[in-house]
Each structure stands twice: as structure tokens, then as C-alpha cells.
Amino acid sequence: MIIRKKFKTASTYALIGLSALVLSGCANKAVVSYGDAQAVETTDINFGSTDLQKVASQMTDSLLSSPVVGTMTANKRPVVFVERIKNKTSEHIDTESITDSISTQLLRSGKFRFVDMTRVEAIREQLKFQNEDALVNPTTAVAFGKQIGAQYMLYGNLSSIVKSNADKSDVYYKFTMRLMDMESGLVEWADETEIRKTKEKSTFGW
């Protein structure tokens, strides 16, 4: 009788422990949901997705609305080389994403064509394979020396100034971009945009 009672007590404790584990697991279960990719990001004052979208859209709109660029693209689609944006801030920022966004929006406009310098080595290897490997039919191989050279280079810088004290943090971003004629070296278009973000310590200490 005593043995049965002890067994029953042990089983009860085991069930309680198992229930606690199950409830704990439910309480800690993460919930994943989709959000609006265009929504304003306010997680912190560092450079984020909203800032990327802002500078890419503003620079693209400015370039496409420029009278000089309008004349340049009136009867042809100039070939442009986009240099990766230089990050002069103290943050680790994926500036390639900014470059990609601007290139994509300009290409969608139908006014420009682009050469992708990040893929030059891969193209060179493929051309070498087509022209030198016996497995490839020479009549279908793409010949060397047929690549189109870029007429213009689009390049820019992202810099920042950060100030902070015990109660407030302030970060100022400046994004500058230029379009250069590669033959003459003349800058045909330039513009810049600014972003200022602040974070103040909550009165309640949150």
C-alpha cells in the first residue's frame, strides 16, 4: 500500500513537471509574420532599410529628371558603369544594396544600359572556355573583343556625423552621387541627399 502511494506521488510530480515543460515551450515559441517592406523602420538610429529606399529613390528621381540627362538619353540609351558606393561611415553598411537598388530603378526606366563589373571575371572565364575548349562548337562561341564599353560612370559616397551624450544621440547621414563622362572626365550630373535621426532617453527610463 505504501509502495503504491509513493508510485502515485512520483507519477503526479512527473506529470506536473511535463506540463510545466510544455507550457514553458508554448510560452517561448516564436511567432513569425510578414510585414510591409516599405514600412518606416524605427528600430534604432543606425542606417536601415527605410534610409536605403529613401536615398535610392531620391537619387534615381533626381538623375532621371535632370535636363542634361534628358538630352543625353533622348535618342539613345547610354551604357553606364556603376561603381559600388563608398562607405565613409563608422557603421557596417551593405552599400552594394544601395548600388543595386539605384541600378535596378534606372534600368527599369528604359533610359540606360549597364555593364556589371562585378561579373567581368566570370565572363572572361566563360569566353575562355567557349573559345579554347574542344567541347564547344566554334561556330556558336562568343568571340573575344565584342564587349560594349561603358560611356559613363555613376559613383557616390555615404558619410555620417555622430553626436551623443547621456540623454540624446544624433546621427547625420549625407549621400552624394555623380555621373561622369568617361571620355572627357566631365561630371554631367551630381546631387546629394541628407538624413538626420535622433534618439532621446525616455523620461520613464524605457
Considering the domain boundaries, does residue 35 fall inside one? Answer: no
Considering the domain boundaries, does residue 156 fall inside one? Answer: yes
Structural domain harbouring 72: 47-114+149-198
Considering the domain boundaries, does residue 134 fall inside one? Answer: no
Q: Is 85's pLDDT higher than 80?
A: yes
The pTM (predicted TM-score) of the whole model is 0.71
Count how many residues are written for the chain. 206
Contact between 63 and 106 under an 8 Å Cβ cutoff? The reply is: yes
The CATH number given to whatever domain includes residue 172 is 3.40.50.10610
Tell me: the pLDDT tens digits for 97-127? Answer: 888 999 999 999 999 998 887 777 787 788 7
> In this structure, what C-alpha cell is assigned to residue 112?
540606360
CB atoms within 10 A of CB 6: 10
Contact between 197 and 89 under an 8 Å Cβ cutoff? The reply is: no
The whole-angstrom separation of Cα 31 and Cα 105 is 34
What pLDDT is stored for residue 178 in this prediction?
95
Pairing state between β 86-87 and 152-164:
parallel
The whole-angstrom separation of Cα 113 and Cα 117 is 13
Tell me: the pLDDT tens digits for 117-176? Answer: 777 778 778 878 888 878 888 887 888 777 778 899 999 999 999 888 878 889 999 999
Considering the domain boundaries, does residue 89 fall inside one? Answer: yes
The whole-angstrom separation of Cα 15 and Cα 159 is 60
Q: Is 68's pLDDT higher than 70?
A: yes
Considering the domain boundaries, does residue 178 fall inside one? Answer: yes
The whole-angstrom separation of Cα 104 and Cα 114 is 10
Closest C-alpha to 196, from 169, 165, 177: 169
Q: What is the mean pLDDT of the chain?
A: 82
Considering the domain boundaries, does residue 129 fall inside one? Answer: no
Contact between 46 and 198 under an 8 Å Cβ cutoff? The reply is: no
Considering the domain boundaries, does residue 22 fall inside one? Answer: no
Please count the structural domains in the chain: 1
Considering the domain boundaries, does residue 71 fall inside one? Answer: yes
Closest C-alpha to 137, from 149, 148, 129: 129
